[in-house]
Structure 1
Amino acid sequence: MDYQHCSVATLLSHAAEVGAINDPHGATHMPIYQTATFDLKKQGETPYDYTRSGNPTRHSLENLFTKVCEGRSAHCTHTGLGAVALLLETLVKTGDHIVVEQDCYGGTYRLLQSYRERLDITIHFVDCTDTTAVEQVLSQNDVRFILFETPTNPGLKIIDIAAIAKRAHAHNTLCVVDNSLATFISQKPLALGADISFFSTTKYVSGHGSVVGGVLVTGRDDLVDPFAYAANAYGRSQNPMDVYVTSLGLPTLPMRMKLHEENAHALATWLETLPEVVSVTYPGLPSHPQHELARTQMRYFSGVFTVDFDTPQTAQRVVEKTVLFGEKASFGTADSRIEIPGKISHASFSEAELAAIGITPATVRLSLGLESVDDLKKDIQEALYG
């Protein structure tokens, strides 16, 4: 049997073999080639000369991501935001128009503002759940690409990847999807019609919160060389040690995503019953307005959701007094986390911009870890009533 027809869980369990770079010693996990340079006289047929340009450790992980994401190539970057930067450095030129989901990651938003100022590009921030609004912008402008995350962070909107990709292609526009919150375990944007998918490996993919990284995957042959050139020219390539640390979380990713979802669903359902809670936004709940689309598009609903409390004071009390929920940036780790988005992950957004995506001072974002959900419930109860 070969790996061609194996499930993603099997591929991740055999990462060294699937991403094979012909290690001469038969390592059962991808070895670390922690070297700046390679001796050209001793290479034989291998292509490596300088680690920024290419490295066997990174190449192995890139091969694996290409396979599990059903793409044509993958490029591992120093950070998740580095993958966004690689996208912009490769595709955007002065005067371009791009469409971006208005509920985008705060770091992406800051980077886009920088590009707008330097290259005089036009950014159309649109609610991508409104296909009429998307169509209007695409029909009136020569748009280079449309970029959105689904589920969005922190609004948890579900965007129909196939529908947006179809509209984008009708206008010769690229469709780009940030898959950080769902991961390739839950949904595969390229298989649904997107041209490019990127995601932060800092979060669920590594899972242990000890490394930062990102990946950009393309499903188009004509973009393979441009992305490879830019990754080398702009120094975006991830270093071998961080690649190795990232890879340690891969074999357990399918099981972790299942437990993240189970914990999130249980806690979100319970929170909906509390009198201090106005609403809970989680794609896995029937109360979510796009629950059926999420069921169609996603295998797992992930472990992130938002809670709107009755007052900002209640929200702040829960954030401050919970013990098991650390007030930490990021998500997707074994430990549960809590934050008020307007103060941490989306601090660069104005109050009006936060309000436009449904985020208020009483909104709290939770990332459910792998703890006992009963302990998490007790933690919130003690913060509210203890």
Structure 2
Amino acid sequence: MHIHPKITPIYQTSVFKFEDLNELELYFGEPGSRYLYSRNGNPNSDELAEAVNRLEGGAGAVATGSGMAAIFAAVLTYCVAGDHVLCAADIYGGSAALLNQELERLGIGVTYVPFEDLTANLAPYARPRTRLLLCETISNPLLRVVDLQAAAAAAHALGVKLVVDNTFASPVLTNPLAFGADLVMHSVTKYLAGHSDVTAGAVVARTPEDAARLKQIGTLFGLTLSPMESWLAVRGLKTLRLRMNAHCYNAQAVAELLTQHPAVAEVFYPGLPTHAQHHLASEQGAGRFGGMVSFRLADDSVEAVNRFMRGSQRFPFAPSLAGVDSSSSYPAGTSHRALSEEQRQQLGITAGLVRLSVGIEPVAELLTDIEQALGATSSGNGG
């Protein structure tokens, strides 16, 4: 009986059987022809890697156990002890912690580059053994947009690779490889899987050589994603385009409401004409600007943030992002907690900064909820 499932089954197995030693030799002689052990490869994790690779237009990809594992694999693709990394100052706090606490311990140095110097003035930050520049398409949490083509040109002029975290944009909005990036990575946990029920990552390479190196790193460091998580992420990917359209539409409406509310001092969203990189974001995102919105309360205090969070019903405080359900986060106390107060102030991450992950719910419900939550903030009652 021949079974032809439309959906790939879950290969919930750690090991695969061989008929005899001849078949074992075929495994080593014809890479990719069959499976041996799920850390080395599994149909489900391979399906996810191939799907993300196709979306990003790469030469090969690996699926990893988390977004952090993806960043780790990306850095190790190019770096050994004694090498040096340039990193955008506007970066996810976990990425900075990995570079500062673990990779520096392994002999890989890091220098942080202010946003304004990423493209026009990169050379003074480089060293003889600088290997890569790491940045985000849309930065976390202030949603600055990097000119990827200019960043790639600046990096390549120094003989440095460009690694881009494309998590906030997703491949639906932007494909960094098309702008000159060498590696692009995602926290698949976020928009790619999309339902807040998977922890995963992925890295996509521009060249087959880098793709092979990623595969080796994933296997030997044991970064491989499990079959079940891979299967769930692939299922999520099938609605990515529909979800991103809804995220972008709702986020635009939320951002426009926030700009007009007296309880809000400042709004960060690339879709607003007042955003410093609005035109660039429109070009790189094909006229769409993502589902993340950050804002600073006029009462720039922890107490005001608490009142907003207690007052909101549709944006629960859940320190992650990109699920179909909306949520809020507090960068100073979560993603950027490891930074010093001085570092946070320099980046503009103040006590009253709130980050919203705008979901795909009916937009009127979200706007009504924000109105009443901000009313609780400005009136000073707990809502």
Q: Do they fold alike, i.e. is TM over 0.5?
A: yes
Aligned-residue offset at 1:301? 0.9
Q: 1:147 aligns with which of 134, 139, 148?
A: 134
Residues 1:304 and 2:304 aligned together: no
Q: 1:240 aligns with which of 221, 227, 240?
A: 227
Aligned to 1:58, the other structure's residue is in SS state: helix
> What CA deviation, in whole Å up to 9, does each residue of 1:156-193 have, x standing for no partner?
11101111111111221110000000011110011110
- Match among 343, 349, 353 for residue 359 of structure 1: 349
Aligned counterparts, 1:7-86, within 5 A: 25-41=3-19, 46-86=33-73
1:375 counterpart SS class: helix
* Matched AA of 2:311: K
C-alpha distance in structure 1 between counterparts of 2:157 and 2:77, whole Å: 22
- The answer on whether the counterparts of 2:148 and 2:176 sit within 8 Å (CA) in structure 1 is yes
Q: Is the 8 A contact 1:129 1:159 kept in 2?
A: no
Q: List gaps (5 residues or longer) in structure 2.
A: 28-32, 377-383
Return the letter of the residue paired with 2:75. Answer: L
Report the 3-state secondary structure (helix = DSSP H, G, I; strand = E; otherwise coil) of the residue aligned with 1:95: coil
**What's the counterpart of residue 175 of structure 1?**
162
Which of 236, 239, 256 pairs up with 1:269? 256
User: Which residue of the partner structure matches residue 212 of structure 1?
Assistant: 199
2:374 is aligned, of 364, 373, 384, to: 384
Give the deviation of 1:262 after TM superposition. 0.6
- What CA deviation, in whole Å up to 9, does each residue of 1:101-153 have, x standing for no partner? 11111111111112344123321101244223323223x54311000012000
| 3-state SS of 1:118 partner | coil
Residue pair 1:327, 1:339 contacting (<8 A) in 2 also: yes
For the residue of structure 2 that corresponds to 1:144, the secondary structure is strand
Counterpart for residue 132 of structure 1: 120
Q: Does the 8 Å contact 1:95/1:121 carry over to 2?
A: yes
Whole-Å Cα distance in 2 between the matches of residues 381 and 224 of structure 1? Answer: 48
Q: Report which stretch shifted further, 159-168 or 110-119.
A: 110-119
Structure 1 unpaired stretches of 5+: 1-23
The corresponding residue for 1:252 is 239
Kindly tell me: are residues 48 and 308 of structure 1, through their superposed partners in 2, closer, same or farther at Cα, counting changes over 3 Å?
A: same
Q: Deviations over 1:278-315 (max 9, x none)?
A: 11010011010110010111132111011111111333
User: Does the 8 Å contact 1:128/1:134 carry over to 2?
Assistant: no
Shift in Å, 1:365? 0.5
Q: Is the 8 A contact 1:319 1:339 kept in 2?
A: no
Aligned partners of 1:133, 1:242: CA distance in 2, in Å?
41
Partner of 2:360: 370
- Tell me the SS of whatever aligns to 2:361: coil
Quick check: 1:223 aligned with 2:210? Answer: yes
TM-score normalised over the length of structure 2:
0.91
For residues 134 and 25 of structure 1, what CA distance do their matches in structure 2 show?
A: 56
What secondary structure sits across from 2:331 in the alignment? coil
TM-score by length of 1: 0.90
Counting matched residue pairs gives 362
Equivalent residue number for residue 290 of structure 1: 277
- The CA deviation at 1:94 is 1.6
Provide the C-alpha distance between the structure 2 equivalents of 1:253 and 1:166, rounded to a whole number of angstroms.
30
Task: Determine what percentage of the aligned residue pairs are the same residue.
Answer: 34
- Tell me by how many angstroms 1:230 deviates: 1.1
In the alignment, residue 146 of structure 2 is paired with which amino acid? I
